[in-house]
Copies of this chain bind each other. A is one copy, B any other.
Amino acid sequence: MSEVYGVRRNRLRERYAATGTAGALVSRPANVRYLAGGAPRGAVLLLGPAEDVLLCPREPTGDTREGRPDERLRLTVLPTASGDPAVAAADLARTAGGASLAVEEHHLTVSRHRAVRSVAPRMRLADLGLAVEQLRVVKDEEEIACLRIAAEITDQALGELLESILVGRTERHLALELERRLIDHGADGPAFPTSVATGPNSGRRGHHPTDRRVEEGDFLSVCVGADYRGYRCEIGRTFVIGTSPAQWQIELYDLVFAAQRAAREALAPGAACRDVDRAARQILDAAGHGEGLAPLTGHGVGLEIDEDPQLAPAAMGKLDACVPVTVEPGVHLPGRGGVRIDDTLVVRQEADGGPELLTITTKELLAL
Protein backbone atom coordinates (compact mmCIF):
# COMPACT_ATOMS: atom_id res chain seq x y z
CA MET A 1 0.00 0.00 0.00
CA SER A 2 2.81 2.32 1.01
CA GLU A 3 4.00 3.18 -2.53
CA VAL A 4 0.50 4.47 -3.31
CA TYR A 5 1.26 7.59 -1.29
CA GLY A 6 4.50 8.23 -3.11
CA VAL A 7 2.62 7.97 -6.40
CA ARG A 8 0.02 10.45 -5.19
CA ARG A 9 2.72 12.88 -4.04
CA ASN A 10 4.40 12.64 -7.42
CA ARG A 11 1.16 13.36 -9.24
CA LEU A 12 0.74 16.47 -7.10
CA ARG A 13 4.38 17.42 -7.69
CA GLU A 14 3.83 17.34 -11.45
CA ARG A 15 0.90 19.72 -11.05
CA TYR A 16 2.60 22.45 -9.09
CA ALA A 17 5.99 22.00 -10.77
CA ALA A 18 4.19 22.86 -14.01
CA THR A 19 3.34 26.22 -12.41
CA GLY A 20 7.00 26.81 -11.62
CA THR A 21 6.69 26.28 -7.87
CA ALA A 22 9.51 24.56 -6.00
CA GLY A 23 7.53 23.02 -3.17
CA ALA A 24 4.08 22.64 -1.64
CA LEU A 25 2.77 22.92 1.91
CA VAL A 26 -0.33 20.77 2.46
CA SER A 27 -2.25 21.62 5.62
CA ARG A 28 -5.84 20.48 5.11
CA PRO A 29 -6.10 17.29 7.22
CA ALA A 30 -7.85 15.11 4.64
CA ASN A 31 -5.30 16.19 2.04
CA VAL A 32 -2.40 15.41 4.38
CA ARG A 33 -3.83 11.97 5.06
CA TYR A 34 -4.37 11.32 1.35
CA LEU A 35 -0.75 12.10 0.52
CA ALA A 36 0.97 10.84 3.68
CA GLY A 37 -1.21 7.82 4.61
CA GLY A 38 -2.02 9.31 7.95
CA ALA A 39 -1.17 12.09 10.32
CA PRO A 40 -1.55 13.07 13.95
CA ARG A 41 -3.86 16.02 14.50
CA GLY A 42 -2.32 19.27 13.29
CA ALA A 43 0.31 17.61 11.09
CA VAL A 44 1.28 19.29 7.81
CA LEU A 45 3.06 17.84 4.79
CA LEU A 46 5.91 19.62 3.04
CA LEU A 47 6.59 18.41 -0.51
CA GLY A 48 10.06 19.32 -1.73
CA PRO A 49 12.05 21.25 -2.60
CA ALA A 50 14.66 18.85 -1.15
CA GLU A 51 12.55 16.02 0.26
CA ASP A 52 9.05 15.31 1.51
CA VAL A 53 8.54 15.75 5.26
CA LEU A 54 5.53 15.15 7.49
CA LEU A 55 5.75 17.63 10.36
CA CYS A 56 3.76 16.47 13.38
CA PRO A 57 3.01 18.47 16.53
CA ARG A 58 3.21 15.18 18.51
CA GLU A 59 4.19 11.52 18.21
CA PRO A 60 1.80 9.50 16.07
CA THR A 61 -0.37 7.58 18.56
CA GLY A 62 -1.19 4.67 16.26
CA ASP A 63 -4.82 5.70 16.68
CA THR A 64 -6.56 4.16 13.65
CA ARG A 65 -8.52 7.38 13.20
CA GLU A 66 -5.27 9.12 12.28
CA GLY A 67 -4.09 6.46 9.85
CA ARG A 68 -0.50 5.23 9.71
CA PRO A 69 1.99 7.59 8.11
CA ASP A 70 3.85 6.23 5.07
CA GLU A 71 7.17 4.81 6.37
CA ARG A 72 8.91 6.00 3.22
CA LEU A 73 8.16 9.57 4.24
CA ARG A 74 10.45 11.49 6.57
CA LEU A 75 8.49 12.16 9.74
CA THR A 76 9.49 14.98 12.07
CA VAL A 77 7.89 15.34 15.48
CA LEU A 78 8.16 18.96 16.53
CA PRO A 79 9.15 19.80 20.09
CA THR A 80 6.21 20.54 22.37
CA ALA A 81 4.84 24.07 22.08
CA SER A 82 7.08 24.87 19.10
CA GLY A 83 4.14 26.59 17.48
CA ASP A 84 2.51 26.11 14.09
CA PRO A 85 3.84 23.14 12.06
CA ALA A 86 3.05 25.12 8.90
CA VAL A 87 5.56 27.75 10.00
CA ALA A 88 8.16 25.10 10.79
CA ALA A 89 7.56 23.62 7.33
CA ALA A 90 8.05 26.97 5.62
CA ASP A 91 11.27 27.47 7.56
CA LEU A 92 12.44 24.06 6.41
CA ALA A 93 11.60 24.89 2.78
CA ARG A 94 13.54 28.15 3.12
CA THR A 95 16.66 26.46 4.54
CA ALA A 96 16.40 23.94 1.71
CA GLY A 97 16.72 26.87 -0.66
CA GLY A 98 13.17 26.84 -1.95
CA ALA A 99 12.42 30.00 -3.94
CA SER A 100 8.66 29.43 -3.93
CA LEU A 101 6.07 27.44 -2.01
CA ALA A 102 2.47 26.64 -2.91
CA VAL A 103 0.11 26.71 0.09
CA GLU A 104 -3.57 25.85 0.52
CA GLU A 105 -5.09 29.31 0.66
CA HIS A 106 -8.55 27.79 1.07
CA HIS A 107 -7.37 26.17 4.33
CA LEU A 108 -4.69 28.42 5.84
CA THR A 109 -6.07 31.33 7.82
CA VAL A 110 -4.86 34.85 7.09
CA SER A 111 -2.90 34.79 10.36
CA ARG A 112 -1.19 31.49 9.63
CA HIS A 113 -0.39 32.60 6.10
CA ARG A 114 1.20 35.75 7.48
CA ALA A 115 3.26 33.71 9.97
CA VAL A 116 4.41 31.43 7.15
CA ARG A 117 5.43 34.43 5.08
CA SER A 118 7.27 36.03 7.98
CA VAL A 119 9.68 33.10 8.47
CA ALA A 120 10.48 33.06 4.75
CA PRO A 121 9.99 36.64 3.53
CA ARG A 122 12.00 36.07 0.35
CA MET A 123 10.12 32.93 -0.64
CA ARG A 124 7.28 33.43 -3.11
CA LEU A 125 4.02 32.01 -1.72
CA ALA A 126 1.70 30.66 -4.41
CA ASP A 127 -1.77 29.13 -4.09
CA LEU A 128 -1.96 25.35 -4.39
CA GLY A 129 -5.71 25.78 -4.81
CA LEU A 130 -7.81 22.62 -4.83
CA ALA A 131 -5.12 20.55 -6.51
CA VAL A 132 -5.19 17.80 -3.87
CA GLU A 133 -8.99 17.79 -3.67
CA GLN A 134 -9.05 17.31 -7.45
CA LEU A 135 -6.66 14.36 -7.22
CA ARG A 136 -8.94 12.85 -4.56
CA VAL A 137 -12.08 12.81 -6.72
CA VAL A 138 -11.27 9.61 -8.64
CA LYS A 139 -10.56 6.80 -6.19
CA ASP A 140 -8.17 3.89 -6.62
CA GLU A 141 -9.28 0.35 -5.84
CA GLU A 142 -7.75 0.45 -2.33
CA GLU A 143 -9.86 3.48 -1.51
CA ILE A 144 -12.98 1.88 -2.97
CA ALA A 145 -12.24 -1.26 -0.96
CA CYS A 146 -12.28 0.85 2.23
CA LEU A 147 -15.56 2.45 1.17
CA ARG A 148 -16.99 -1.01 0.48
CA ILE A 149 -16.09 -2.15 4.00
CA ALA A 150 -17.50 1.09 5.46
CA ALA A 151 -20.76 0.37 3.63
CA GLU A 152 -20.87 -3.24 4.84
CA ILE A 153 -20.41 -2.10 8.42
CA THR A 154 -23.18 0.46 7.97
CA ASP A 155 -25.59 -2.05 6.44
CA GLN A 156 -24.91 -4.43 9.35
CA ALA A 157 -25.53 -1.75 11.99
CA LEU A 158 -28.74 -0.61 10.31
CA GLY A 159 -29.95 -4.17 9.79
CA GLU A 160 -29.53 -4.97 13.48
CA LEU A 161 -31.41 -1.85 14.51
CA LEU A 162 -34.36 -2.85 12.35
CA GLU A 163 -34.63 -6.14 14.21
CA SER A 164 -34.99 -4.38 17.56
CA ILE A 165 -38.07 -2.78 19.12
CA LEU A 166 -38.37 0.80 17.92
CA VAL A 167 -41.68 2.13 19.25
CA GLY A 168 -41.22 4.28 22.34
CA ARG A 169 -37.50 4.90 21.85
CA THR A 170 -36.20 8.41 21.21
CA GLU A 171 -34.43 9.66 18.10
CA ARG A 172 -31.34 10.33 20.23
CA HIS A 173 -31.20 6.82 21.61
CA LEU A 174 -31.63 5.21 18.22
CA ALA A 175 -28.83 7.39 16.84
CA LEU A 176 -26.48 6.47 19.69
CA GLU A 177 -27.38 2.80 19.31
CA LEU A 178 -26.51 2.94 15.62
CA GLU A 179 -23.16 4.58 16.35
CA ARG A 180 -22.34 1.96 18.98
CA ARG A 181 -23.13 -0.80 16.47
CA LEU A 182 -20.93 0.83 13.82
CA ILE A 183 -18.01 0.59 16.22
CA ASP A 184 -18.95 -2.97 17.24
CA HIS A 185 -18.59 -3.93 13.59
CA GLY A 186 -15.18 -2.38 13.21
CA ALA A 187 -15.77 1.24 12.22
CA ASP A 188 -13.26 3.81 13.39
CA GLY A 189 -16.28 5.94 14.18
CA PRO A 190 -19.37 7.43 12.56
CA ALA A 191 -18.65 9.14 9.24
CA PHE A 192 -20.85 12.07 10.30
CA PRO A 193 -23.40 12.76 13.07
CA THR A 194 -26.05 10.05 12.73
CA SER A 195 -29.50 11.42 11.89
CA VAL A 196 -32.66 9.71 13.13
CA ALA A 197 -35.94 11.51 12.41
CA THR A 198 -39.44 10.37 13.38
CA GLY A 199 -42.96 11.52 12.54
CA PRO A 200 -43.02 15.20 11.55
CA ASN A 201 -39.20 15.28 11.60
CA SER A 202 -38.83 12.42 9.12
CA GLY A 203 -37.35 13.20 5.74
CA ARG A 204 -35.47 16.29 6.92
CA ARG A 205 -31.92 16.29 5.62
CA GLY A 206 -29.36 16.42 8.44
CA HIS A 207 -32.04 16.41 11.15
CA HIS A 208 -30.39 16.41 14.58
CA PRO A 209 -31.94 13.70 16.77
CA THR A 210 -34.31 14.97 19.46
CA ASP A 211 -36.05 13.35 22.44
CA ARG A 212 -39.15 12.62 20.35
CA ARG A 213 -40.16 8.98 20.70
CA VAL A 214 -41.08 6.66 17.84
CA GLU A 215 -44.87 6.26 17.55
CA GLU A 216 -47.18 3.91 15.66
CA GLY A 217 -47.82 5.23 12.17
CA ASP A 218 -44.66 7.35 12.05
CA PHE A 219 -42.32 7.60 9.18
CA LEU A 220 -38.84 6.86 10.55
CA SER A 221 -35.94 8.13 8.46
CA VAL A 222 -32.36 7.26 9.30
CA CYS A 223 -29.12 8.58 7.79
CA VAL A 224 -25.95 6.89 9.01
CA GLY A 225 -22.49 5.96 7.81
CA ALA A 226 -19.26 4.39 9.00
CA ASP A 227 -15.74 5.77 8.88
CA TYR A 228 -13.39 2.90 7.99
CA ARG A 229 -9.70 3.83 7.79
CA GLY A 230 -10.73 7.40 7.09
CA TYR A 231 -13.18 6.53 4.28
CA ARG A 232 -16.75 7.60 4.83
CA CYS A 233 -19.96 6.31 3.33
CA GLU A 234 -23.59 7.24 3.82
CA ILE A 235 -26.90 5.41 3.72
CA GLY A 236 -30.38 6.80 4.24
CA ARG A 237 -33.57 4.82 4.56
CA THR A 238 -37.15 5.59 5.51
CA PHE A 239 -39.48 3.11 7.20
CA VAL A 240 -43.03 3.07 8.47
CA ILE A 241 -43.75 2.16 12.06
CA GLY A 242 -46.68 -0.18 12.53
CA THR A 243 -48.58 -2.70 10.48
CA SER A 244 -49.65 -0.85 7.38
CA PRO A 245 -48.52 2.48 5.92
CA ALA A 246 -51.12 5.16 5.14
CA GLN A 247 -51.92 5.89 1.51
CA TRP A 248 -50.06 9.23 1.53
CA GLN A 249 -47.03 7.49 2.94
CA ILE A 250 -47.03 4.87 0.20
CA GLU A 251 -47.43 7.50 -2.51
CA LEU A 252 -44.70 9.77 -1.13
CA TYR A 253 -42.36 6.84 -0.69
CA ASP A 254 -42.92 5.57 -4.24
CA LEU A 255 -42.29 9.07 -5.58
CA VAL A 256 -38.98 9.54 -3.76
CA PHE A 257 -37.96 6.02 -4.66
CA ALA A 258 -38.63 6.73 -8.35
CA ALA A 259 -36.59 9.94 -8.15
CA GLN A 260 -33.71 8.20 -6.39
CA ARG A 261 -33.70 5.35 -8.91
CA ALA A 262 -33.73 7.79 -11.83
CA ALA A 263 -30.63 9.53 -10.46
CA ARG A 264 -28.88 6.23 -9.74
CA GLU A 265 -29.56 5.10 -13.30
CA ALA A 266 -28.18 8.39 -14.63
CA LEU A 267 -24.77 7.71 -13.02
CA ALA A 268 -22.26 7.00 -15.76
CA PRO A 269 -18.77 8.13 -16.79
CA GLY A 270 -19.22 11.28 -18.85
CA ALA A 271 -22.66 12.11 -17.44
CA ALA A 272 -23.00 15.77 -16.45
CA CYS A 273 -23.41 16.17 -12.68
CA ARG A 274 -26.34 18.53 -13.21
CA ASP A 275 -28.13 15.97 -15.39
CA VAL A 276 -27.94 13.38 -12.60
CA ASP A 277 -29.45 15.96 -10.27
CA ARG A 278 -32.14 16.83 -12.80
CA ALA A 279 -33.11 13.19 -13.25
CA ALA A 280 -34.27 13.10 -9.62
CA ARG A 281 -35.34 16.72 -9.26
CA GLN A 282 -37.70 16.79 -12.22
CA ILE A 283 -39.68 13.83 -10.88
CA LEU A 284 -40.17 15.50 -7.50
CA ASP A 285 -40.85 18.81 -9.21
CA ALA A 286 -43.49 17.35 -11.50
CA ALA A 287 -45.27 15.99 -8.43
CA GLY A 288 -45.41 19.49 -6.96
CA HIS A 289 -42.53 19.19 -4.52
CA GLY A 290 -40.13 21.53 -6.35
CA GLU A 291 -40.26 24.01 -3.46
CA GLY A 292 -38.08 23.20 -0.49
CA LEU A 293 -36.00 20.51 -2.14
CA ALA A 294 -32.45 20.22 -0.85
CA PRO A 295 -29.92 22.21 -2.93
CA LEU A 296 -28.24 18.98 -4.00
CA THR A 297 -29.24 15.42 -4.86
CA GLY A 298 -25.88 13.93 -3.93
CA HIS A 299 -22.18 14.49 -3.46
CA GLY A 300 -18.84 12.72 -3.57
CA VAL A 301 -17.58 10.78 -0.55
CA GLY A 302 -14.13 9.63 0.50
CA LEU A 303 -11.81 10.89 3.21
CA GLU A 304 -14.48 13.51 3.84
CA ILE A 305 -18.20 12.90 3.86
CA ASP A 306 -18.91 15.81 1.53
CA GLU A 307 -16.47 15.99 -1.37
CA ASP A 308 -16.58 16.89 -5.04
CA PRO A 309 -18.43 16.27 -7.25
CA GLN A 310 -21.72 17.86 -6.28
CA LEU A 311 -24.92 16.67 -7.91
CA ALA A 312 -26.78 19.98 -8.08
CA PRO A 313 -28.61 22.14 -10.64
CA ALA A 314 -25.70 24.56 -11.07
CA ALA A 315 -22.92 21.94 -10.85
CA MET A 316 -20.35 22.03 -13.61
CA GLY A 317 -18.39 19.07 -14.82
CA LYS A 318 -18.97 15.43 -15.64
CA LEU A 319 -18.64 12.20 -13.72
CA ASP A 320 -15.68 9.87 -14.13
CA ALA A 321 -15.37 6.15 -13.51
CA CYS A 322 -14.34 5.21 -9.96
CA VAL A 323 -15.95 8.29 -8.42
CA PRO A 324 -18.07 7.36 -5.35
CA VAL A 325 -21.13 9.54 -4.83
CA THR A 326 -24.28 9.59 -2.75
CA VAL A 327 -27.72 9.76 -4.32
CA GLU A 328 -30.07 11.12 -1.70
CA PRO A 329 -33.23 12.86 -2.81
CA GLY A 330 -35.92 13.48 -0.22
CA VAL A 331 -39.21 15.25 0.35
CA HIS A 332 -40.28 16.72 3.68
CA LEU A 333 -43.88 17.86 4.20
CA PRO A 334 -43.90 20.41 7.04
CA GLY A 335 -45.91 19.11 9.98
CA ARG A 336 -46.36 15.65 8.47
CA GLY A 337 -42.89 14.30 7.81
CA GLY A 338 -41.32 12.83 4.73
CA VAL A 339 -39.03 10.42 2.98
CA ARG A 340 -35.32 10.35 2.17
CA ILE A 341 -33.56 7.52 0.37
CA ASP A 342 -29.78 7.71 0.23
CA ASP A 343 -27.23 5.32 -1.24
CA THR A 344 -23.49 5.42 -1.79
CA LEU A 345 -22.51 4.19 -5.25
CA VAL A 346 -19.35 4.09 -7.35
CA VAL A 347 -19.60 5.34 -10.92
CA ARG A 348 -18.56 2.50 -13.27
CA GLN A 349 -18.46 1.91 -17.02
CA GLU A 350 -21.50 0.20 -18.52
CA ALA A 351 -19.14 -2.60 -19.53
CA ASP A 352 -18.19 -3.04 -15.88
CA GLY A 353 -21.85 -3.43 -14.91
CA GLY A 354 -22.72 0.22 -14.44
CA PRO A 355 -22.96 1.99 -11.05
CA GLU A 356 -21.73 -0.16 -8.16
CA LEU A 357 -24.15 0.02 -5.23
CA LEU A 358 -22.18 -0.08 -1.96
CA THR A 359 -25.10 0.30 0.47
CA ILE A 360 -27.26 -2.73 -0.15
CA THR A 361 -29.91 -2.50 2.59
CA THR A 362 -33.31 -2.99 0.95
CA LYS A 363 -35.20 0.01 -0.36
CA GLU A 364 -38.65 -1.55 -0.11
CA LEU A 365 -40.95 0.39 2.20
CA LEU A 366 -40.66 -1.78 5.32
CA ALA A 367 -43.35 -1.59 7.98
CA LEU A 368 -41.58 -2.19 11.30
List A residues at the B interface (Cβ < 8 Å).
61, 63, 65, 80-81, 103, 105-111, 113-114, 127, 172-173, 176, 179-180, 183, 207-208, 295, 312, 314
Contacts and interface: CB of A to CB of B under 8 A. Distances in A.
Contacts of A111: 105-106, 127
Number of copies: 2
Most buried by B among A109, A312, A314: A109
A208 B314 contact: no
Contacts of A114: 105
Contact of A107 (B103, B106, B109): B109
Contacts of A173: 180
A208 B105 contact: no
A106 B105 contact: no
7 contacts: A81-B295, A81-B312, A103-B110, A105-B109, A110-B127, A172-B183, A173-B180
6 A-B pairs with least C-beta separation: A105-B110, A106-B111, A63-B208, A80-B295, A105-B111, A110-B113
Nearest to A173: B180
A81 B172 contact: no
Given A61-B208, A108-B110, 4 more contacts: A61-B207, A106-B110, A173-B180, A176-B180
Contacts of A108: 109-110
